[in-house]
């Protein structure tokens, strides 16, 4: 689906959708509980549907049978469930779509080789089989915190104590904080030693509880960007004390309102880069986003696709190996943006369109279904003028 947007400011109140990151974690904790509670405010995004589908497949698998787990395009679903499946079902057969099965899994593979767990990745199908045993697991901290989360969920189920050793500085600590917070709510104990070691007692049981999913700070970043570009958007429903690391969106918004050159380290909030870059495109000064190499292995190479988005609309941006430099201009002109099958690129382009002098065409606008299926409804409700081509 391609969409053309006529320039124009947005106005009104909006509540971001339920946090996708929190929902993944709660759904899995409920699954691992003997008596799961109720979960309210779950999103019907494609990523959460993928996790729910995998949970159903794990529950339905017969004894001795490797479950087939279709992870869609969700990196969280895949990386969280690999060790969980080993712990509860002896492994699984994992499939996905888009770039998912091309995304790095080596941190797990290194552990599997140490522990004698078999794995194969052929033609986009990952098969893992064996027994996840307690002990020491070593992980790099600069690839993805999702590996840490997957092990933090699985290791408490084992019959002995374990330790996760982080071999390089841990990025995206906020996402690990969210994991630890969720585990604690479900009765699981983990000792965090300065994000360098996590001691995990074995033989624990998840204690089901009722839970409600908070509004998503990651998605709120796009509405902050709309306000930055001149729209009158009142963002509601956010928890300022949330465990979500992307709550820094509010602080970074304020940083960008101050003119002059500035650097922003996105190692802890990579999902915020697209809306932050849109803000940077129209501010006075040059903004350099640093420690951003992991953005190249998202749904798209986001350093390349964000640069392409901004330049297509008349902005000025240059990418480095692990950085993006955006030079502010007085206005954006409009044009055609390739959504790159990336939900965050599509939403960033839609917000940029509010400040363009000419129409903006977005190719593949349906990609928002991955995380924010009601985005276009909200955009139009706030006064956006869109036409499906």
The 10 Å CB-count burial string (b at 16+, else e) for 73-106 is bbbbbbbbbbbbbbbbbbbbbbbbebbbbebebe
* Strand bridging mode 211-212 / 162-166: unpaired
Decide: 179 and 164 in contact? Cβ < 8 Å: no
Q: Which residues are catalytic?
A: 271
**Strands in 279-389 per DSSP E:** 286-290, 316-320, 323-327, 335-338, 360-363, 385-388
pLDDT digits (tens, 9 = 90+) for 144-195: 899 999 999 999 999 999 999 999 999 889 999 999 999 999 999 999 999 9
Model pLDDT, residue 330: 86
CA distances from 114 to 107, 136, 139, 263, 280 (A): 11, 10, 12, 40, 45
Look at residue 63 and tell me whether its pLDDT is greater than 80: no
Q: Which domains does the chain have, with CATH numbers?
A: 3-17+215-388 (3.65.10.10), 20-212 (3.65.10.10)
Model pLDDT, residue 43: 86
Q: Given pLDDT bands bounded at 50, 70 and 90, which one contains residue 129? A: very high
In degrees and rounded to multiples of 5, residue 355 shows phi and psi of: -115, 10
pLDDT digits (tens, 9 = 90+) for 238-277: 999 999 999 999 999 999 999 999 999 999 999 999 999 9
pLDDT digits (tens, 9 = 90+) for 315-357: 999 999 999 999 999 889 999 999 999 999 999 999 999 999 9
Decide: 290 and 263 in contact? Cβ < 8 Å: yes
pLDDT digits (tens, 9 = 90+) for 68-91: 999 999 999 999 999 999 999 999
- The CB-side HSE value for 38 (13 A sphere, CA atoms) comes to 2
Q: Given pLDDT bands bounded at 50, 70 and 90, which one contains residue 44? A: confident
Model pLDDT, residue 172: 87
Give percent above pLDDT 90 in the chain: 93
Beta bridge partners of 93: 68, 127
Q: Given pLDDT bands bounded at 50, 70 and 90, which one contains residue 279? A: very high
User: What letter does residue 131 receive in the DSSP assignment?
Assistant: -
């Amino acid at each position: 689906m391609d969409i053309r947007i006529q320039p124009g400011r947005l106005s009104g109140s909006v509540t971001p959708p339920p946090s996708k990151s929190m929902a993944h974690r709660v759904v899995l904790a409920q699954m691992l509980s003997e008596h799961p509670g109720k979960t309210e405010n779950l999103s019907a995004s494609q990523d959460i549907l993928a996790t729910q589908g995998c949970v159903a497949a794990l529950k339905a698998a017969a004894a001795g049978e490797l479950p087939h787990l279709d992870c869609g395009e969700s990196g969280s679903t895949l990386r969280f469930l690999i060790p969980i499946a080993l712990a509860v079902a002896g492994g699984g057969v994992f499939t996905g779509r888009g770039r998912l099965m091309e995304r790095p899994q080596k941190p797990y593979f290194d552990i599997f080789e140490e522990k004698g767990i078999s794995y194969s990745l052929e033609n986009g199908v990952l098969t893992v089989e064996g027994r996840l045993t307690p002990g020491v697991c070593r992980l790099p901290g600069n690839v993805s915190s999702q590996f840490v989360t997957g092990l933090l969920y699985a290791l408490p189920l084992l019959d002995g104590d374990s330790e996760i050793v982080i071999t390089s500085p841990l990025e995206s600590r906020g996402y690990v904080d969210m994991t630890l917070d969720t585990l604690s709510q479900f009765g699981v104990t983990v000792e965090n030693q300065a994000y360098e070691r996590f001691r995990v007692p074995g033989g624990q049981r998840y204690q089901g509880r009722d839970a409600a999913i908070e509004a998503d700070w990651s998605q709120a970043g796009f509405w902050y960007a709309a306000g930055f570009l001149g729209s009158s958007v009142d963002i509601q429903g956010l928890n300022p004390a949330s465990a979500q690391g992307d709550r820094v969106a509010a602080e970074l918004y304020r940083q960008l309102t101050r003119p002059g050159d500035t650097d922003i380290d996105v190692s802890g909030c990579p999902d915020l880069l697209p809306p932050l870059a849109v803000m940077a495109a129209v501010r006075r000064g040059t903004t350099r986003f640093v420690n951003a190499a992991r953005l190249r292995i998202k749904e798209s190479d986001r350093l390349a696709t964000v640069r392409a988005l901004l330049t297509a609309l008349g902005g000025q941006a240059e990418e480095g190996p692990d950085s993006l430099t955006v030079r502010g201009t007085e206005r954006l002109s409009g044009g055609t943006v390739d959504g790159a099958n990336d939900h965050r690129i599509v939403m960033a382009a839609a917000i940029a369109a509010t400040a363009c002098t000419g129409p903006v065409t977005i190719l593949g606008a349906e990609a928002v279904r991955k995380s924010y299926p009601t985005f276009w409804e909200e955009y139009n409700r706030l006064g956006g003028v869109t036409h499906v081509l």
